[in-house]
Structure 1
Amino acid sequence: MEIHGLIHQLPKEIKGLILVFISVLSIGFFGGLSFVNNTTAMKPASIETHYLGNEDDEDAEIMKFKKNEREILTVVHGHILSMSVIFFLLSLILATTSINKKLKYFLMIEPFISIILTFGGIYLLWCGILWFKYVIIVSGTFMTLSFAIAVISIIYQLLMVKNVKK
């Protein structure tokens, strides 16, 4: 079964449903990024402080304590599961588009690698491997770019590309 370009042939109601789903998903995704920015300023030292605390810094404006094992496992577990579902659904929709195959495959696979590197990196940072804060930033950036490019591609395909009759 050929699904390449199938999105063009979907009824308006299904296209509308996909558009609403992608929009709400994007609000949630970028809302989460806003939270990350608020808690870490997306800076290596702040990421480290967020998970490892700053009890030793007497000049700290806000005192933070190292996450305990239950907290860190909850963060990692919950995010790996939920982000996997988010990117699986996004990838299924992306698979029906007619964008460049290599780009499409990259956008479908890369987020899963970034999920493991980002949230596995958070766990490894918590375990004391401090250089993983840089892996977290790079992989999180790739995950966000992949999400944004996939969403823009899907919306473009839904709204701008017309179904060509053969």
Structure 2
Amino acid sequence: MKYSGLLPNLPKELRIFIATFVIVLSVGYFTGLLFIQETESTTPTGIEENYLGNEDDEDADVMKFKKGNREMLTVVHTHVLSMSLIFFLLGGLVWLAKAPKKLKLFLTLEPFLSIILTFGGIYVMWSGVSWFRYVVVFSGILMTVTYTGSAILVLWQCLFPTRYKMSDVSSR
């Protein structure tokens, strides 16, 4: 099946539709990151406090309590499902772009590993393995870098297709 490099060869209207989708998806993704920043969960200590609470810290500006089992399962469940769908859709568009096969393989498979490590890691940390907070930070950063790279690749080829158009679209 010939699919590599198909994205910049699509009709202009379809490329605009895809670019609009990726822009709106990115607004949602990065708004989520702003929420994480607001909850002060961008550091290993902040992540731990957000899920395990900080009732023992008398100097804390905002008191946080340990999340319950039901709340943790809801957080993990909803994030794994929604993030998987986000990366599945974006990954499908990445495979239509013109780029080296190894780069596309990384951009489309790594996010799924990061989803498991980030949200599974949050649950493992909450369960008592506190060093997993470092895994959560690392995998969350890697997931965001991968998302950004994928979104830029797709947007760039939708908005500036003449650099990537091919007369014979072939699979890599």
Q: TM-score scaled by structure 2?
A: 0.94
Greater Cα offset, 127-136 or 10-19: 10-19
After TM superposition, where is structure 1 displaced by more than 3 Å over at least 4 residues in a row? none
Counterparts of 2:166 and 2:44, CA distance in 1? 49
Give runs of aligned pairs for residues 127-142 of structure 1, distance below 5 A: 127-142=127-142
| Letter aligned with residue 28 of structure 1 | G
CA displacement 1:29-70 (0-9 Å, x = unmatched):
000001011112511111100000011112211111000001
- Structure 1 spans left out of the alignment, 5+ residues: none
| Letter aligned with residue 164 of structure 1 | M
Which residue of the other structure, out of 163, 166, 171, is the alignment partner of 1:164? 166
Confirm whether residue 2 of structure 1 aligns to residue 31 of structure 2.
no
Equivalent residue for 2:57?
57
Give runs of aligned pairs for residues 1-166 of structure 1, distance below 5 A: 1-162=1-162, 163-165=165-167
In the TM superposition, residue 161 of structure 1 has moved relative to its aligned partner by: 3.0
* CA RMSD between the two structures: 1.0
Counterparts of 1:165 and 1:138, CA distance in 2? 41
Counterparts of 1:56 and 1:8, CA distance in 2? 56
Counterparts of 1:95 and 1:165, CA distance in 2? 18
Greater Cα offset, 127-136 or 1-10: 1-10
Identity rate, percent: 51
Count, aligned residues? 166
In the TM superposition, residue 19 of structure 1 has moved relative to its aligned partner by: 0.5
User: Greater RCO between the two (CA within 8 Å, min separation 6)?
Assistant: 2
In the TM superposition, residue 100 of structure 1 has moved relative to its aligned partner by: 1.3
Counterparts of 2:131 and 2:30, CA distance in 1? 26
Counterparts of 1:165 and 1:2, CA distance in 2? 12
Greater Cα offset, 47-56 or 8-17: 8-17
- Structure 2 spans left out of the alignment, 5+ residues: none
Counterparts of 1:123 and 1:130, CA distance in 2? 10
Counterparts of 1:76 and 1:32, CA distance in 2? 15
Counterparts of 2:8 and 2:63, CA distance in 1? 53
